[in-house]
Amino acid sequence: MPRNFCNFAARSNLFSFLPITPMNFISERVNNLAASATIAMSQKSAELRAAGIDVINMSIGEPDFNTPEFIKEAAKKAVDDNYTHYPPVAGYMELRKAVCAKLKSENGLDYSPEQIVVGNGAKQELCNALLAVVNPGDEVIIPVPAWVSYVEMVKLAEGTPVTVYAGVEQDFKITPEQLEAAITPRSRMIMLNSPSNPTGSVYTREELAALAAVLERHPQVVILADDIYEHINYVGGAPSISQFESLKDRMIIVNGVSKAYAMTGWRIGWLAAPTAIAKAVTKLQGQYTSGVSSIAQKAAEAAYLGPQECVEDMRKAFERRRDLIVSLAKEIPGWIVSKPEGAFYIFPEVSSYIGKKYGDKEIRTSGDYVMYLLEEGHVAAVDGDAFCAPGYLRLSYATSEENIREAMRRISEASAKLK
């Protein structure tokens, strides 16, 4: 009798004693997954706006600028040139060559197109890297506060997230001693994100060298450098852990066009990795998403090969907004505010509001405070808890200076009512 690997009938029979409700069909994998708090909060504020409430949305982290014209033109041309067929799973050769040229000219790194895989945003390439490298039970070190999706992606890959906490008092950066203490023989990967979402902190080259020295002693650990905010920094260039040659044979760089070129909706990200890892990721992608939108790929190619002034113009605007929001946030009583050196977020410590009340509203957690600011101040932020840092909140300042001023005025007014 032929072996049947896909006997769904037999499998569903196993559960025939269960009542048929939708919940029975949801896998443990998905039941155990937390929904993305950044996306949930942004949706909530969109719903409130649709209901006529004038909410200022500072929850989602995406540039408010439109994609530059020359990039949009390249996409239109791609349609006319009939880039309408399945693209190669790993991405068009021209785009992968453009990524290699970027890595060479901007980062001084030598990669060949076989080492590049293009995916649906940096998000998919982060997830692919984990799925390609992590075995069930492997430990993945995540310095926290960290972006909401890191821990959940590790869980999807059946890995064990090992978080290493660095609060505002250490500018949200882990020390080499903390890293050393977190590494065990089961450690399989570390995910490093500088400039950081949600804190905006940027590791210096010296700080990275100290972390690299620890990692050199532990060859079982793959290093994932999430450099998506590389261009948005206020220190004249953000260094990356990927610059350490000694780690290159176990380095995965994840980056993309979403933030630097205001292209979040085009969904183009990529990874650069040792050839074996790039091949593994391509195999994975070949089974569950195939290549990325042909038209978006041609737009991303134009972004890398075209004039780069737009990147600097947007960076300068973010810097002005950073200065503005930090000065206003420092005036809010009880907030402890760091001055971020990159990305477009502030991450104040707000636990002094815990225990305060206004009417029948009591603030028991930073999450309550965030909900209070939404309901009472009509400003959407994200609870620090979603980034593994309860007691904090995140505000994205990728919005106009006018919105920033008004949002901070509302937060200040609503916070003053809490006694």
Interacting residues toward ligand PMP by CB under 6 A: 61, 121-123, 126, 147, 193, 197, 226, 228, 256, 258, 264, 269
Binding mask 236-255 for ligand GLU (x = CB under 6 A): --------------------
Binding letters toward ligand GLU, positions 180-199, x by CB under 6 A: -----------------x--
Six-digit token pair at 20? 């048929």
- The residue whose two tokens read 């977020």 is 345
Quote the CA–CA distance of 99 and 225 in Å, as a whole number. 16
Question: Of residues 133-152, which lie at the interface with ligand GLU (CB under 6 A)?
Answer: 147-149
CA distance linking residue 70 with residue 134, whole number of Å? 39
What's the min distance (Å) between Cβ of 63 and ligand PMP?
10
Residues 336, 348: contact at Cβ < 8 Å?
yes
Q: How far is the CB of 183 from ligand PMP (least distance, A)?
A: 22
**Which residues 6+ apart lie within 8 Å of 210 measured at CB?**
175, 176
Stretch that binds ligand GLU, among 55-63, 111-119, 241-249, 268-276 (CB under 6 A): 55-63
Shortest Å, Cβ 396 to ligand GLU = 6
Please choose, out of 19-27, 35-43, 200-208, 351-359, the segment that lies near ligand GLU by the rule CB under 6 A. 35-43
Sheet holding 116-120, edge to edge: 116-120, 268-272, 251-256, 222-226, 187-193, 139-144, 160-165
Query: Dihedrals φ, ψ of 417, to 5°?
Result: -75, -20
CB 90 within 8 A of CB 119: no
Query: Which CB atom, from 258 or from 297, has the smaller least distance to ligand GLU?
Result: 258
What is the closest distance, in whole angstroms, from the C-beta atom of residue 266 to ligand PMP in the complex?
9
Pick between residue 215 and residue 343 the one whose CB is nearest to ligand PMP: 343
H helices, E strands: number in the chain: 14, 14
Alpha helices in 200-293 (DSSP H): 205-216, 275-288
Q: Based on the shown chain and the rule CB under 6 A, indicate whether residue 64 belongs to the binding site for ligand GLU.
A: no
- Residue numbers at the binding site for ligand GLU (CB under 6 A): 36, 38-39, 60-62, 123, 147-149, 197
